[in-house]
Amino acid sequence: MDILEGIRVLSFNHFLLGPMGTQVLADLGADVISVEPVGGAFQRHWGGANHKVDGETMLHLCGNRNKRSLAIDMKSPEGSAVIEKLIETADVLSENFRPGVMDRLGFGYEAARKINPKLIYAAASGYGQDGPYSERPGQDLIIQALSGLANINGSENQPPTPVGVSAADHHGAQILAMSILAALFRRERTGKGTRVDVDLLSAALDLQNESLVCYTNGATQSQRPPPNIAGWYFPAPYGIYSVQDGYVAISLGSMETLARALSLPSLNNFDDDSVFQRKKEIAALIQAAVKDLNLVDLEAMLEKEKLWYGRVNDYSAVLRDPQIQHNGSFVHIKSAAQTPITLLAHPAKYDGQRPEVRLSPQPLGAQTREILAELGYSGREIEQLAKNRVVHTA
């Protein structure tokens, strides 16, 4: 994919939001250089399920394809000189340290734009660059709690329930990529560099846009939905219902149509207002009607009336799903050590094609020599930097 061919991105990122956001740019053809400490960034040392392939964590694998790795001691004078040379060549600098860290390293926004006035400087943080929480550690679970996201999950008879993935990180990564692309477009038109600021807290609020707009404009009833219903501001039947061999999500549909589908005439007693005000009662009636059915029979009943529904898949079923397979949502490649691995594909197509994986997630410092050579360092100078532990070479 050559959409961003010729764009160089320096990624001083760790954990998930920053690496995944810059991976979007890498997928689109940008030359993304992942700048890491000589001991490796956080994502190389911790990852989901405590599982590794070729010694690499799942957190590293999911956010670092199509990138080159430079391992360097930025605090050393020699390392600092390398970073300055890199900034001179870059279009984008992206970092997600806590506010002030890059300033202390000598490469905050003001210092970086003096080196390269046309630079797009994209900073991601937990809460924003200033304010009462700016120095706090920003992490997805904490953000879900503070933003209200955890509180609206789970039904009224359950405690607050966090989303089972790092939702704010994932959404924040897409906002980061979008914002960088917008700034690049502006620079193409005006020649101006831009500072971009993205934060996890804003990303988590953005995920709740409809819910928060309902609440702030007068719909202030309980934010904990009754059993089966999927969210506090949704009407019945919108939710998930258990059957003998699994679960089915039933989305929007008229009570008249649902009454026919389920042979449940009592649903005809509820009007358009009732589906909001009496959703607990309606959901209980539906659950009682379907509990002894199996998935195939219920799906046939709902399909006959053209209702909106879908069975609840576990991951095994997700991988077998014919539409997911048709879409090419998973890619099967080989790791840097030639071990078969599976990655989630880039989520969009361009002229009918998804961006390919040009480079599997790389070992620490795999391209250190290559990048330094591009900056004009000789082989002898690179060997000396490696000997002095200014850089790490794979």
Q: What is the pLDDT of residue 176?
A: 98
Q: What is the pLDDT of residue 220?
A: 79
Note the CATH number of domain 8-207+331-392.
3.40.50.10540
Find all residues with CB under 8 Å of 121, minimum gap 6, and list them.
92, 93, 109, 112, 113, 193, 194, 195, 196
Residue pair 389/365 in contact (Cβ under 8 Å)? The answer is no
Q: What is the pLDDT of residue 300?
A: 98
Angle at 138 between CA 132 and CA 144, to 5 degrees: 100
Q: What is the pLDDT of residue 221?
A: 77
Q: What is the pLDDT of residue 1?
A: 87
pTM: 0.95
Q: What is the pLDDT of residue 6?
A: 98
| Range 37-46, long-range pairs (CB < 8 A, 24+ positions) | 37/71, 37/72, 37/73, 37/74, 38/71, 38/72, 38/73, 38/365, 38/389, 38/390, 38/391, 38/392, 39/392, 40/71, 40/364, 41/13, 41/14, 42/14, 42/15, 43/14, 43/15, 43/16, 43/19, 44/364
Catalytic residues: 169
Instruction: Provide the sign of the torsion angle of the four alpha carbons 119, 123, 128, 129, taken in this order.
Output: negative
Instruction: State which residues of the chain have pLDDT below 50.
Output: none
So where are the chain's domains? 8-207+331-392, 239-312
Structural tokens at position 183: 């700034």
